[in-house]
Amino acid sequence: MSIELLGWGPDLAHAFSLLLSQSSLPLVPGRVVRQERGLLTVQTSERAFLSRPSGRLLHQAPSAEALPTIGDWVALIPPSGEGEALLHSLLPRRSVLMRREAGSEREGQLIAANLDVVFLVTGLDGNFNLRRIERALTIAWNSGATPVVVLSKADLHADVSALLLEVEALAQGAPVLALSALEGTGLEELRAQLPAGKTGALLGSSGVGKSTLVNRLLDEARLATQPVRPDDNRGRHTTTHRELFVLPHGGLLIDGPGMRELGLWGEEEGLSQAFSDVLAMAADCRFSDCSHRREPGCAVRAAVEAGGLSSERLESFEKLLREQAYQARQSSSAAQREQKRLERNLTLAGGQHSRAKRRRD
């Protein structure tokens, strides 16, 4: 398989040749196309290798974010005979998608790297929720990939075009499309958002129809589709790995568990993009630190009163701001703990490097 089919291009070739020029190792470029816990499958132009990160890579990683994940481009050292390849280093990423780990306030969990497009899938059934779409848009903008909002199960809704307008109003320029994986409608629009050589992922709660959609796109029943369970968070772990699929039209799609509910993760930039309309209004508030509650001359409240901004949208903006402030506090205390740990290690003259055990997916 030519790695061009996997999205290899001049920027990556350049980064790789720099790496080669600084190393005497027999490095080969490839892309992580499958991930099952710590075990990665890397596709090179020759063949696919089971690979593990080298000790050097593990030890030098400043955080879990610097470890290889599905979608990464890597330099690896092939095994001399049978056995696993050694994953020597990561090539620069175009984007990285992370999620807050359930029950953990510390590190984000890597979901995928080098996505060009993230499809935010919401079902046009009981699952439909504008606030959830806003939230997902924020996460998507943070990743560096371009979000596309996908309204799935369009066959279940009588007035899809009205909904499209409603979602477009809050999508801040992100494309919005409706489709039915069941009936096979709207798939061309989706393919058009994922041209050959570009990498996408479907994100959305369990039950919105991601597997059905992937099957459709692959033109074959590769993933087991199961009935929706009432409890979304448990059960339904039919696959334990994530995989990068080459679709018949040449687009690349990463799918697998862990691509579901997302906690908010990242910097303010994503938030400001997802709520650029609110921020534009806030620029007209009399006070620059306006909290948009009681202050006189508040342009945001004026917009709510005039009907130009829904109070729900303002509320979800404020909620996201609060969550982000909370996460900023958490990560600064995590950074302080990390600093202390490093200082402790430095004072252990000549001692073993103690590494906090990281749980990786």
Number of residues this chain uses to bind ligand GDP (CB under 6 A): 18
Residue type, 210: K
Among 122, 206, 273, 324, binds ligand GDP (CB under 6 A): 206
- Residues 339, 344, 348: CA angle, nearest 5 degrees: 145
Among 34, 94, 100, 292, binds Zn ion (CB under 5 A): 292
Nearest one of 92, 93, 98 to 112, comparing CA atoms: 98
Nearer to ligand GDP, 36 or 261 (CB): 261
Query: Cα–Cα distance between 31 and 105 in angstroms, integer?
Result: 30
Residue span binding ligand GDP (CB under 6 A) among the ranges 103-111, 174-182, 294-302, 338-346 = 174-182
State the DSSP code for 62. S
Phi and psi for 32 in degrees, rounded to 5?
Answer: -75, 110
Query: Cα–Cα distance between 69 and 241 in angstroms, integer?
Result: 11
Nearer to ligand GDP, 92 or 184 (CB): 184
Alpha helix ranges (H) inside the chain: 10-21, 55-60, 130-143, 160-170, 187-192, 210-218, 268-274, 276-282, 299-306, 311-347
Interacting partner of 292 out of ligand GDP, Zn ion, none (Cβ under 5 to 8 A depending on kind)? Zn ion
Interacting partner of 300 out of ligand GDP, Zn ion, none (Cβ under 5 to 8 A depending on kind)? Zn ion
Phi and psi for 59 in degrees, rounded to 5?
Answer: -75, -30
Min dist. Cβ of residue 274 to Zn ion (A)? 18
The pairing of beta strand 28-36 with beta strand 242-246: antiparallel
Min dist. Cβ of residue 243 to ligand GDP (A)? 14
| CA quadruple 324, 328, 330, 335: dihedral sign | positive
Decide: is 182 part of the binding site for ligand GDP (CB under 6 A). Answer: yes
Among 97, 298, 303, 309, binds Zn ion (CB under 5 A): 298
Query: Cα–Cα distance between 51 and 284 in angstroms, integer?
Result: 54
In this structure, are residues 95 and 143 in contact, taking their beta carbons and an 8 Å threshold?
Answer: yes
Nearer to Zn ion, 66 or 302 (CB): 302
Among 69, 142, 180, 199, binds ligand GDP (CB under 6 A): 180
Nearer to ligand GDP, 71 or 207 (CB): 207
Min dist. Cβ of residue 140 to ligand GDP (A)? 17
Decide: is 211 part of the binding site for ligand GDP (CB under 6 A). Answer: yes
Site string for ligand GDP, 226-255 (x = CB under 6 A): xxx---------------------------
Among 54, 172, 193, 225, binds ligand GDP (CB under 6 A): 225
Residue type, 113: A
Nearer to ligand GDP, 180 or 199 (CB): 180
Nearest one of 133, 67, 22 to 355, comparing CA atoms: 67
Among 115, 244, 252, 285, binds Zn ion (CB under 5 A): 285
In this structure, are residues 303 and 139 in contact, taking their beta carbons and an 8 Å threshold?
Answer: no
What is the length of the chain?
361
Interacting partner of 118 out of Zn ion, ligand GDP, none (Cβ under 5 to 8 A depending on kind)? none
Site string for ligand GDP, 113-152 (x = CB under 6 A): ---------------------------------------x
Alpha helix ranges (H) inside 144-263: 160-170, 187-192, 210-218
Residue ranges binding ligand GDP (CB under 6 A)? 152-153, 155-156, 180-182, 206-212, 225-228
Residue ranges binding Zn ion (CB under 5 A)? 285, 290, 292, 298, 300
